[in-house]
């Protein structure tokens, strides 16, 4: 008998009344168990920007192994050639670090999806790194490439024995760039249940079944606010985007109730709530993703026993 004291009906009803295309839900609270609900059959899907948080874990592991440092210069690790952009942009490229990438503070002006490393290294930087938050796929892709240069492994392969297999995640597909790097920012294929396993690993501060897969110190740093966020549009359906205004860590969003989350296009969420020892994982195919997140706070969070 499931010991999780919760009624999912209000959440389910809210999702269905709004015709939100949620595919699956897993709710876990430590010591009380797990509940699942499906609207569509379970299958692996592109979890989009949830992938970024896996890249963060890989980088943390590589730092612990002495292969990378937050202060590493992108241009030096990736052997970027000078002269691809204006002199001012070149100066900025020279100061760009791995930490700037992890916090989305690269200094370019618009969201990009680079097809290959050469393209990613050619962008004009219009602001000094570390001075402006812009959520973007380029940062995560460059971090993925830096890990590959430092370790000789694609991020996906690097995580196979360090994370995926210990968690019981069947060797997942991770889409690659034209030149063979794990995209880092997107393209990881997971089921909702596998997302929930990753959430439980995060809730345990990197400890899985007595084995510390990544240091608690890295997870603590990665999942707390490292930089303020700047949201161009502060309302959605008449409600303030609190969860997008509360800051960004190292490829994780911070949000209400002392929680943090992995957040992907079309409603992919892994929400970790340490104060309640809880995880909520959601897979969707819905462009109206923010109402899904708000429904978690309105209809699931209140039912977690402390």
Please give the Cα distance from 33 to 27 (Å, whole number): 8
Residue-by-residue DSSP string for 131-195: S-----HHHHHHHHHHHHHHHSS-HHHHHIIIIIHHHT-----B-B-TTS-B-SSS-BEE-HHHH
Which residue, among 99, 134, 106, has the nearest Cα to 121 in the 3D structure?
A: 106
- DSSP label at residue 97: B
Convert the pLDDT of each residue in 245-272 to its tens digit.
Answer: 889 999 999 999 999 999 999 999 999 9
Across the range 58-74, mean pLDDT stands at: 98
Across the range 171-190, mean pLDDT stands at: 98
- 8 Å CB contact between 142 and 129: no
Considering the four listed CATH numbers 3.40.50.150, 3.40.710.10, 3.30.70.1450, 3.40.640.10, the one that applies to the domain covering 1-43+191-306 is 3.40.710.10
**pTM of the shown model:** 0.95
Which whole-number Å values give the CA distances from 198 to 63, 77, 237, 275, 280, in the listed order?
20, 29, 30, 18, 11
Same fold, 1-43+191-306 and 51-190: yes
Assigned superfamily of 51-190: DD-peptidase/beta-lactamase superfamily (3.40.710.10)
**pLDDT confidence bin for 3, thresholds 50/70/90:** low
pLDDT for 83: 60
Domain parsing of the chain, residue ranges: 1-43+191-306, 51-190
User: What is the enclosing helix (H) or strand (E) of 261?
Assistant: strand 260-264
Exposed, middle or buried, 117 (CB in 10 Å: 0-12/13-18/19+)? buried
């Amino acid at each position: 008998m499931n010991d999780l004291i919760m009624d999912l009906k209000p959440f389910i009803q809210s999702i269905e009344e709004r015709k939100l295309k949620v595919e699956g839900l897993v709710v876990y609270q430590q010591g009380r168990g797990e509940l699942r609900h499906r609207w569509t059959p379970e299958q692996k899907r592109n979890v989009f920007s949830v992938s970024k948080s896996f890249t963060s874990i890989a980088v943390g592991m590589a730092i612990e192994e002495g292969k990378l440092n937050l202060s590493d210069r992108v241009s030096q690790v990736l052997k970027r050639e000078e002269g691809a952009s204006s002199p001012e942009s070149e100066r900025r490229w020279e100061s760009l670090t791995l930490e700037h990438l992890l916090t989305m503070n690269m200094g370019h002006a618009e969201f990009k999806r680079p097809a290959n490393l050469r393209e990613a290294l050619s962008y004009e930087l219009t602001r000094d790194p570390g001075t402006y938050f812009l959520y973007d796929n380029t940062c995560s892709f460059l971090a993925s490439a830096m890990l590959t240069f430092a370790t000789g492994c694609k991020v996906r392969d690097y995580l196979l024995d360090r994370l995926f297999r210990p968690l019981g995640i069947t060797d997942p597909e991770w889409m690659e760039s034209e030149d063979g790097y794990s995209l880092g920012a997107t393209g990881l294929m997971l089921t909702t249940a596998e997302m929930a396993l990753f959430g439980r690993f995060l809730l345990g501060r990197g400890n899985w079944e007595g084995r510390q897969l990544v240091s608690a110190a890295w997870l603590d740093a990665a999942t707390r606010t490292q930089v303020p966020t700047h949201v161009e549009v502060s309302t959605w359906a008449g409600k303030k985007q609190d969860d997008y205004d509360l800051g960004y860590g190292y490829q994780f969003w911070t949000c209400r109730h002392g929680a943090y989350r992995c957040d992907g296009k079309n409603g992919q969420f892994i929400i970790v709530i340490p104060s309640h020892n809880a995880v909520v994982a959601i897979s969707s195919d819905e462009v109206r993703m923010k109402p899904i997140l708000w429904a978690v706070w309105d209809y699931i969070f209140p039912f977690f026993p402390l």
